[in-house]
Amino acid sequence: MGALEAVILTIITASTPLLLAAIGELVTERSGVLNLGVEGMMIMGAVCGFATAYTSGSAMLGVAAGLLAGVVMSMLFAFLTQTLMTSQVATGLSLTLLGLGLSGLIGEAFTGLPGVKLTVLDIPFLSDIPFIGPILFGHDILVYASLAIPLGVAYVLFRTRLGLIITAVGGNHHSAHALGYNVIRVRYGCIAFGGACSGLAGAYLSLAYTPQWIENMSSGRGWIALALVVFSTWLPKRLMIGAYLFGTVWIMGLYVQALGVAIPAQLLSSLPYLVTIVALIIISGNKTLTKVNTPACIGQPFAPER
Amino acid sequence: MKKLIGSIALSLAMIFAAGAASAADKLKIGFIYVGPIGDHGWSYQHDQGRLAIEKELGDKVETVFVEKVAEGPDAERAIERLARQGAGLIFTTSFGFMNPTLKVAKRFPKVKFEHATGFKRSKNVATYNARFYEGRYIIGQIAAKMSKSGVAGYIASFPIPEVVMGINSFILGAQTINPNFKLKVIWVNSWFDPGKEADAAKVLIGQGADIVTQHTDSTAPLQIAADKGALGFGQASDMIKFAPKAQLTSIVDNWAPYYVRRTKAVLDGSWKSSNAWDGLAQGTVEMAAYTNMPSDVAAMAKKTQAMITSGKLHPFTGPLYKQDGSLALADGKVMDDGTLSGMNWYVKGVDGDLPK
Amino acid sequence: MMIVLEKRSEQSKAMTFLSPVLAIGLTVVIGGFIFTGLGLDPFKALYIYFIEPMTSIWSVEELIVKAAPLILIGAGLAVCYTANVWNIGAEGQLTIGALFGAAIPVYFTAWQSPLVLVLMLVLGAVGGALFGAIPALLKNRFGANEILTSLMLVYVAQLLLDWLVRGPWRDPQGFNFPQSVPFEGWQLLPLLGEGRVHIGAILAVVAVIILWIMMGRSLRGFEIRVIGRSPRAGAFAGFGQKRVVWFCFMLSGALAGLAGICEVAGPSGQLQPTISPGYGFTAIIVAFLGRLNPIGVLFAGILLAISYLGGEAAQVELGISDKTAQVFQGMLLFFILACDTLIHYRIKFAPGAGAAKEA
């Protein structure tokens, strides 16, 4: 295996969970809801995915369980913020707190057990082509999903009626309501989608990235996913670029070290965050990029006037 | 209403009084862990030590623990809480608990404290650590025997003496087999971050390392090694079930002998503050079964292990040269523990600079 | 059947006080069931959790030590969030404040004078304010989302601290271990009483009172509330949104920085790779629990401190794990958030189909 090939493969695995969680949050935010509980949903996806896969022996069942766990968590958030109209910021943060605790509790019985690894989809002939084979055709189903979902989301958002409704609800919920759309119901749906994707991201961590259950194994990836959404200016295709860029910076920090370059490890570790900030500045500075796509109602509760 | 509250308070008081009475004739032993006991690494192994005390001494003792205690102001409160709860012996199991332990110890002169990996002691604070570098010397030799590329990857946490001496010991062991053996080090700046450790392992293997070892706690690097057809070593516990085809051996932290010994010392009144630095000889450092290697390599490893255990071999024996070629230890001399525990330089043969 | 919320014409005064009581009541009831399910005596468990932290002088003192930084930071964040300025990075401002203040004992180890302490506190606040000014600058100048920039800067600040205590600021006598020189004499905060309570507790109360007066009585407070409710209305009144962003970030940054230096010069007594167990993040919850009111923050800070101490006590005395405590805390937060709805809304139960008729 060549060095370049290894680096590219590493970048793909590092970017996949970020991309999965971020595309879900992108849809949630498009509908005007800010869910800061990504980390909590992700970790619940990880633990439920692992527990199910371990008990049943089937990694695919684990993936399904992870997805379901994310949805359940997100519904808790949706009930509070949409039905009871609590603060989205506070509820999201509480969701993260709850998820981290609950996952630890569920996972207690599953610590220190070797997990079930999600198998690579072996495509005859294609997977065997040198260099291109492993990079393009040597992955598990979640890696392909992480690429397919953003493309699907892009199609739905910009090419279908549903996409228009979501954008309208996020842009101006009062007009959307006046037009007869059920704002709350649309948002419930988008929050559920966000939860499902975060759950998948978690399942990827515990079934593919490092196939085992470890407390706090999401280690801040949920927050990075949130940053990526803004970085993408709520555009799915740009989100894919962003996630891979972030994965690249992340891996390059390690790569440079292994080459023996003497830079403090802390500086290398902080690079991804600094790069995100710089990217945010560049993108935010460009008004045409942001203004068009930013959901105007983000974070605001909606109560229909009576 | 008042009556109800009164009766509840009374019954609560009785519950506590009863609890206190039964606890009085038992020695209560407290543990403070920095991580979750579910980390399957550092804190997990200390908790195994706690369970060993319970198993060995049964109803003479009662153990309690607080996990995930942040190194900082919270630590002092957690330690003091255990002391106030009547613990007679308290183990604080992370370096960052050093000063809080000393502060609480001053206020509770009758309680015995044991602090892991620190260097400050007092009348009722002892310190203890393990000579993990002894195991690293052995795995260095195995690595040099088993590697085809002559390059090993080392995933390191923080550039503190404990870790640096491990790296040095590993390369010194390897050099006894292959003088040109190369070691690539990646600092992940964390004791425990499975994702990052996995990424580092992938990068190292991508750069030609066919042996991966680590001074971080998760099983992730070993799993990656198994996945990529490389070999590796476990850390802190036996990780063979995570990589049955890739783990060569594992350096296991076994705190049980020390914990049981110290608990017995408190029970029979012979406890004194001391600085224990136990290794293979005392059983605090253990080597997991030598697997996935030809029998001659396993035999060599066993021989080295026996020599270190019996004291015939010390990994840090002169002549030793620093990275820049200057002499660090004269021929035939054995490094003293003081120098060893303050080590902040690489020996010759390590690639790259030590982060300052 | 469907739950329908009807907005009250004004906040319910009764519910403002009743909702936290109701939330705590619900948590206690459900918590009791959980403890029973775990095979524990629910009364004992709840007693240990909520009451015991207040039954001895030592634990009350520890409660104050734990609550002080939460209140200090939470009060600043409450002002921020009132203005719709989302500072999520108080943890980073806390870290930088601690570094600024700690520079004095690190570089002038032998300097002893009351001035040292004053200077450390001032530098702590300045450091926090300056670090808080970065997301403010990025928001005002480039329109960069402050939630994310302030959050990203937390990691940067923590890594900077990590680098300093493992490198240039390491104690030369410390055997290469990651800590700074221990602070001494005037480099430490004076203690109140026998335990660990330090003057940071007084600072927290003073900050709460000042901010309460500012928000309630001053033009600045009015400006912040108007901008928070509607930036456009604020603009008509001649209030500048950018100015409010600067003010809020620097104010909350300064308070977080102050909390940071108080931790370092107080309970820690030296710099270590970790300064706070996430006070900057917990304070976000404190700000919301206190309904963005400085006085409310005071009580919320104490409540959260109780839940931490109670969780720790439960670990030791009941042998339940740290995660149970965390779940319990999460549940408490959800109930409080949910019950808060009652302040602004009336709940009606309507049959599902009939809901449309009302509209």
Tokens encoding B265: 């010392």
CATH tag, B132-253+285-340: 3.40.50.2300
pLDDT cut 70: percent of chain A above it: 96
Tens of pLDDT along C187-225? 999 888 878 899 999 999 999 999 999 998 898 898 888
How sure is the predictor about C342, in pLDDT bands with cuts at 50, 70 and 90?
confident
Cβ pair C145:A230 closer than 8 A: yes
Answer for the pair C215, C225: CB distance below 8 angstroms, yes or no: yes
- Report d(CA C96, CA C100) in Å as an integer: 6
Q: Exposed, middle or buried by CB within 10 Å (0-12, 13-18, 19+), for A57?
A: exposed
Tokens encoding B304: 């080295």
CA distances in angstroms from C339 to B217, C13, C346, listed in the order given: 43, 14, 11
Answer for the pair A86, A306: CB distance below 8 angstroms, yes or no: no
Tens of pLDDT along A41-67? 999 999 999 999 999 999 999 999 999
CATH topology of domain B2-130: Rossmann fold (3.40.50)
- Report d(CA C6, CA C322) in Å as an integer: 39
Closest of A211, A166, A171 to residue A186, by C-alpha:
A166
The shortest CB-CB distance from B15 to any of C44, C166, C270 is to: C44
**Is residue B81 pLDDT above 80, yes or no?**
yes
CB neighbours of residue C159 within 10 Å: 22
Closest of A47, A53, A63 to residue A111, by C-alpha:
A47
Going across the sheet that includes B125-130, the strands are B61-66, B27-32, B89-92, B112-116, B125-130, B275-278
**Is residue B79 pLDDT above 50, yes or no?**
yes
Cβ pair B353:A3 closer than 8 A: no
Half-sphere exposure of B348 (CA within 13 A, CB side): 15
Output the CA torsion sign for B330, B334, B340, B345: positive
- Report d(CA B134, CA B279) in Å as an integer: 7
Interface of B with A (CB under 8 A): 36, 38-40, 44, 153, 184-189, 192-196, 198-200, 202-208, 218-220, 223, 228, 237, 241-242, 351-353, 355-356
What is the structure's pLDDT at B192? 81
Cβ pair A86:C145 closer than 8 A: no
Closest of B318, B269, B259 to residue B91, by C-alpha:
B259
**C192 or B132, greater pLDDT:** B132
Q: What is the DSSP letter of B322?
A: B
**Is residue A290 pLDDT above 70, yes or no?**
no
Domain spans of chain C?
Answer: 1-40+326-359, 61-319
Answer for the pair B236, B176: CB distance below 8 angstroms, yes or no: no
Equal fold, B2-130 vs B132-253+285-340? yes
Calculate ∠ Cα A176-A177-A183, nearest 5°.
85
The shortest CB-CB distance from B160 to any of C44, C178, C277 is to: C178
Cis preceding linkage at A304, omega within 30: no
How sure is the predictor about C327, in pLDDT bands with cuts at 50, 70 and 90?
confident
**Is residue A297 pLDDT above 90, yes or no?**
no
How sure is the predictor about A283, in pLDDT bands with cuts at 50, 70 and 90?
confident
Cβ pair A104:B220 closer than 8 A: no
Q: Exposed, middle or buried by CB within 10 Å (0-12, 13-18, 19+), for C175?
A: middle
CB neighbours of residue C262 within 10 Å: 30
Q: Which residues on adjacent β-strands are paired with residue B350?
A: B183
CB neighbours of residue B27 within 10 Å: 19
Rg (chain B; Cα; Å): 23
- Residue A98 contacts C, CB cutoff 8 Å: yes
Helices (H), B256-329: 256-267, 295-310
Domain spans of chain B?
Answer: 2-130, 132-253+285-340
Q: Among A74-83, B1-10, B225-234, which stretch is predicted with the lowest mean pLDDT? A: B1-10
Distance from CA of A224 to the nearest CA of B (A): 14
Helices (H), chain A: 3-30, 38-56, 59-78, 88-107, 132-137, 141-159, 161-171, 173-178, 183-204, 221-231, 236-258, 265-285, 287-293
Closest of A202, A222, A198, A224 to residue A211, by C-alpha:
A202
The shortest CB-CB distance from A276 to any of C152, C281, C337 is to: C152
Q: Which amino acid is at A78?
A: A
Cβ pair A306:C6 closer than 8 A: yes
Helix (H, G, I), strand (E, B) or coil at B276: strand
Contacts of A285 in chain C (CB under 8 A): 142-144
Hey, which chains touch B, using 3+ CB pairs under 8 Å?
A, C
**Is residue B322 pLDDT above 60, yes or no?**
yes
Contacts of C41 in chain B (CB under 8 A): 15
The structure tokens 């109602």 sit at A297
Tokens encoding A238: 């740009």
User: What is the average pLDDT across A245-269?
Assistant: 81
- Residue A185 contacts C, CB cutoff 8 Å: no
Helix (H, G, I), strand (E, B) or coil at C153: helix
What is the structure's pLDDT at B96? 86
Helices (H), C108-240: 114-137, 146-166, 200-217, 219-229, 231-236
- Report d(CA C113, CA B284) in Å as an integer: 48
- Report d(CA A109, CA C109) in Å as an integer: 50
Contacts of C34 in chain A (CB under 8 A): none
The structure tokens 């407070």 sit at C221
Closest of C169, C18, C168 to residue C105, by C-alpha:
C169
Chain C interface mutation, best of A43, A102, A284, highest count of C Cβ atoms under 10 Å: A284
Q: Which residues on adjacent β-strands are paired with residue B251?
A: B235, B287
User: What is the average pLDDT across A211-226?
Assistant: 86
CATH topology of domain C61-319: ABC transporter involved in vitamin B12 uptake, BtuC (1.10.3470)
Task: Give the distance, in angstroms, between the CA of residue B348 and the centroid of all CA atoms in the same chain.
Answer: 25
Enclosing H/E stretch for C262: helix C241-263
What mean pLDDT, rounded, does chain C reach?
86
Q: Which amino acid is at A265?
A: A
User: What is the average pLDDT across A3-15?
Assistant: 86
- Report d(CA B349, CA A29) in Å as an integer: 53
Tell me the Ramachandran region of residue C332: left when phi exceeds 0, alpha when psi lies from -120 to 50, beta otherwise.
Answer: alpha
Cβ pair B68:C166 closer than 8 A: no
- Report d(CA C307, CA C326) in Å as an integer: 9
The shortest CB-CB distance from C3 to any of A83, A86, A270 is to: A83
Distance from CA of A235 to the nearest CA of B (A): 27
**Is residue B45 pLDDT above 80, yes or no?**
yes
Distance from CA of C245 to the nearest CA of B (A): 32
Q: Exposed, middle or buried by CB within 10 Å (0-12, 13-18, 19+), for C33?
A: exposed
What is the structure's pLDDT at C195? 82
- Residue C19 contacts A, CB cutoff 8 Å: no
Distance from CA of C273 to the nearest CA of A (A): 12
Answer for the pair C333, C20: CB distance below 8 angstroms, yes or no: no
User: What is the average pLDDT across B290-304?
Assistant: 96
- Report d(CA C8, CA A192) in Å as an integer: 29
CA distances in angstroms from A245 to B137, C148, C228, listed in the order given: 40, 17, 35
CATH tag, A3-293: 1.10.3470
Tokens encoding A246: 């972030």
User: What is the average pLDDT across B81-98?
Assistant: 93
Backbone angles phi, psi at C98, to 5 degrees: -60, -40
Q: Which residues on adjacent β-strands are paired with residue B27?
A: B61
- Residue A10 contacts B, CB cutoff 8 Å: yes
- Residue A254 contacts B, CB cutoff 8 Å: yes
Tokens encoding C51: 């009451």
Tokens encoding B289: 């079964």
**Residue of chain B nearest A1, judged by CA positions:** B206
Output the CA torsion sign for C155, C160, C164, C168: positive
**Residue of chain C nearest B107, judged by CA positions:** C195
Cβ pair A97:C333 closer than 8 A: yes
**B88 or A121, greater pLDDT:** B88
What does pTM read for this prediction? 0.84
Half-sphere exposure of C9 (CA within 13 A, CB side): 0
What is the structure's pLDDT at B151? 93
Helix (H, G, I), strand (E, B) or coil at C1: coil
Domain spans of chain A?
Answer: 3-293
Output the CA torsion sign for A137, A138, A142, A146: negative
Cβ pair C151:A227 closer than 8 A: yes
What is the structure's pLDDT at C351? 59
What is the structure's pLDDT at B1? 46
**Is residue B24 pLDDT above 70, yes or no?**
no
What is the structure's pLDDT at B16? 46
Answer for the pair B52, B256: CB distance below 8 angstroms, yes or no: yes
**Is residue B10 pLDDT above 70, yes or no?**
no
- Report d(CA C17, CA C24) in Å as an integer: 12
Q: Exposed, middle or buried by CB within 10 Å (0-12, 13-18, 19+), for A256?
A: middle
What is the structure's pLDDT at B23? 47
Closest of B31, B17, B104 to residue B61, by C-alpha:
B31
Answer for the pair B282, B257: CB distance below 8 angstroms, yes or no: yes
Q: Which residues on adjacent β-strands are paired with residue B32?
A: B66, B92
